[in-house]
Amino acid sequence: MTAKSQIVEQLGESVVLLPDLIVAALAANDRAKLRLTLLQEAAAQAAEPSRSVPDLSRDLRAAGLDSSVSRAIIVGARAVGGGRIEVPGSDHLIQDLHADIAAMIAPVSVAEPEAAEPFTKRLAAITATAPPSDATLAPSAIHDMTVADPGGPDSEHRLVMDLHKAINRIAERTAAETVDGARALGLGPNDRPRLKAFMAGLNRTAPLAFGHPGLGTTAVGVGPRLIIQNDIGATDAHVIVIHVESLAVSVTYTDVHRGRAKFFMGLFDGFEIAWTPLSERSAPGLAEDSAFYLVTGRHEAKNEKKLDAFLERLGSRLVFLIDWNKARKILQGFVGKPRAVALLSEAAAHDLGHRAFLELGGGALVLDAVRRVAGPRASYGARLDEVLGEDHAYAFLADVLRLTSEGLAAGRSRRLMRDEIQAGLVDRLQSAEGDLIRTTLRHLGLSRMLAADIRDALVGGRLASAAERAVLAGRATRLEQKGDRMTLQAREFAGRLTEANPSLRRMIDQAEEALDALDEAAFLFSLIRDADDDTQVGPLAALADITVDSVGQLVRACEAASRAPLDRQQDMTEALQAIDAVGVAERAADAAERAMIASLMRAPSADGRAVALGMELAHSVERATDHLAHSALALRDHLLGEQAA
């Protein structure tokens, strides 16, 4: 027996009335909520006459209410004696409110007579205690009608909420037809293609929920309007209601999470939507929290094709709201809140989402990869963006969201996906270490410039003028300061990344010491007197040549090493050969330093200061090659350690 036949058997001939009653009840629900809003706004206006009156005309017209009369109710509200409020037409307003509630009870009476009886009694009790028809109300009376506290006295608002849930439950069971998975009632001639467009988007991305409940859709045609409601999740306050009329779409969205509401508003690139400000509302009756956030958006399409495109987009975005806050909290533990939200936005933009990530373990999935891959190479307790750097951590987590979504959809084994994630982390770690090596490269570029400047000031056996050497000393100081800034950043990063393997930290430190030694040499070079150049120019030029070659060899080693983690044997060989050449240059510099000292000792000098200066200058340049050699050996330790690992 079909579900429709079972309903006919259970309800008899009255079932033919049920679709129209449900349609009327949902329309009455819209009106009742607006009438309650009018009462609240009237009370607020009486308390603060200078406030700006909200424009409810669009919602009122959509619900079939007279917007001018309704505005007069708010604008005309004023405080009178005895602590009461005069609300023009409040007697008719309350009567109409009770009539709307009665209309909401009607389909429940037909479908579930036993369930309807308590609703009928509650309405009778509320009506019996309604304020007298004298157009004045106590503020407490308005509060009592509009409050929704399940622990307090009954109210019109609470009754409307309970009836709305009952009507939705009945509508789900008694839908006259199903349109692409949506339960549909009373569709007009224009409603079906619009509902199909919405469902096309929803059905396209719904598999990304990976079994999570939600996304059930109910659609009702109410005159010229199509009303679409979607069950995004299990929470009471997570609701979306869509009204489609002519070429306009109105979206009302509520959520207990402000961040998710803002995320939802950002899912419609390419479509113009006029959003109201995100406002906080209070509802003590909610199971999750007493506060929620509400926003309304309106899109005006230019034609039917563009209207369908927007509805398709709208339907396709809902799956990305499921468990959003849970995913955001997990991701922000690795990269911080702004980047976590950006990751979720990017995953939604690429139709990947985050549900597969959660289904496969979420944070535990990432932590397991970090423990297995980065454990020996990262400081304990360091956040992922501190270990890899912000960009690499973001890119890694984006890959995780992609691998989990595509993998789970394709039916790949969980073990394979974990292996792919760990391999991706290895790549990111190597890329991060490559960034450190490239930072050292930029630092070495400063040393190469300074060493070349010293060498060029000795070209052809001629000592540059005192003024030129003074300029060189000033430039050396600026280069050394620039190098310091680069080193501080690299040291902070390397300290987290290489706790168990300090080779890269030593490489950076020694490169910094080399630049410091060259800066000192440039200063001493500026102090040489022209009269001393015969004994010092030749040996110093040879030493400067060796230093330039040493820096160049270390640059080549770092360039090859930055590619070596990709397991290219040729790059590894090139890096090791260049490292060896730095060692050869260091030994040549030792010999050149001794030659310069010997030259100074052989030459007659009436001033011991010139000899001391020359010896200290030779030592400073040679010391730079020592540090370059130590930096090269640290790089060698890192490369060979990586190969052993």
Distance of CA 95 to the CA centre of its chain: 49
Alpha-helical (H) ranges within 48-155 are 57-62, 67-75, 90-111, 113-128, 139-146
Higher pLDDT, 600 or 552: 552
Domain assignment present for 574: yes
Q: Which domain holds residue 474?
A: 433-644
Domain assignment present for 344: yes
Among candidate residues 210, 420, 216, 423, the one with its CA nearest the CA of residue 327 = 210
Q: Are residues 31 and 84 in the same domain?
A: yes
Domain assignment present for 291: yes
End residue of a domain, out of 126, 143, 171: 171
Residue type at position 365? L
Q: Average the pLDDT over 407-436 and give the result.
A: 84
Q: What is the pLDDT of residue 493?
A: 61
SS3 501: coil
Total structural domains within the chain: 4
Give CA–CA dist 2/323, Å, rounded. 34
571 Cβ partners below 8 Å, 6+ apart?
A: 560, 561, 563, 564
Q: Are residues 314 and 347 in the same domain?
A: no
Q: Is the pLDDT of residue 500 over 50?
A: no
Q: Are residues 408 and 298 in the same domain?
A: no
- Cα-Cα-Cα-Cα dihedral sign, residues 616, 547, 481, 496: negative
The answer to whether the beta carbons of residues 157 and 150 sit under 8 Å apart is no
**Is residue 13 very low, low, confident or very high in pLDDT (cuts 50, 70, 90)?**
very low
Domain assignment present for 423: no
> What CA–CA distances, in Å, run from 559 to 492, 505, 581?
22, 17, 14
Q: Average the pLDDT over 154-158 and give the result.
A: 91
- E strand or H helix that includes residue 220: strand 216-222
**Is residue 319 very low, low, confident or very high in pLDDT (cuts 50, 70, 90)?**
very high
SS3 85: strand
- E strand or H helix that includes residue 555: helix 533-563
Domain assignment present for 333: no
Highest mean pLDDT among 46-60, 308-322, 595-609: 308-322
Q: Are residues 287 and 400 in the same domain?
A: no
Q: Are residues 165 and 188 in the same domain?
A: no
End residue of a domain, out of 113, 136, 171: 171
Domain assignment present for 509: yes
Cβ of 81: how many Cβ atoms within 10 Å? 7
Q: Is the pLDDT of residue 580 over 80?
A: yes
Q: Could you report the per-residue pLDDT of 447-491, keeping only the tens digit for each?
A: 999 999 988 888 766 788 888 889 999 999 999 999 888 887 677
Among candidate residues 320, 387, 391, the one with its CA nearest the CA of residue 352 = 320
Q: Are residues 149 and 28 in the same domain?
A: yes
Longest dimension (CA), the chain: 127
Cβ of 267: how many Cβ atoms within 10 Å? 18
Domain assignment present for 424: no
Q: Could you report the per-residue pLDDT of 60-113, keeping only the tens digit for each?
A: 888 888 888 888 899 999 998 778 899 988 888 999 999 999 999 999 988 888
Q: Are residues 151 and 224 in the same domain?
A: no
Q: Are residues 516 and 627 in the same domain?
A: yes
Give CA–CA dist 116/108, Å, rounded. 5
Q: Are residues 84 and 145 in the same domain?
A: yes
Residue type at position 75? V
Domain assignment present for 631: yes
End residue of a domain, out of 171, 187, 203: 171
Give CA–CA dist 555/454, Å, rounded. 18
Q: Are residues 317 and 349 in the same domain?
A: no
Q: Are residues 196 and 309 in the same domain?
A: yes
Cβ of 33: how many Cβ atoms within 10 Å? 18
Q: Could you report the per-residue pLDDT of 230-258, keeping only the tens digit for each?
A: 877 656 567 788 999 999 999 988 888 89
Mean pLDDT of the chain: 84
Q: Are residues 457 and 564 in the same domain?
A: yes
CATH of the domain at 446: 1.20.58.220
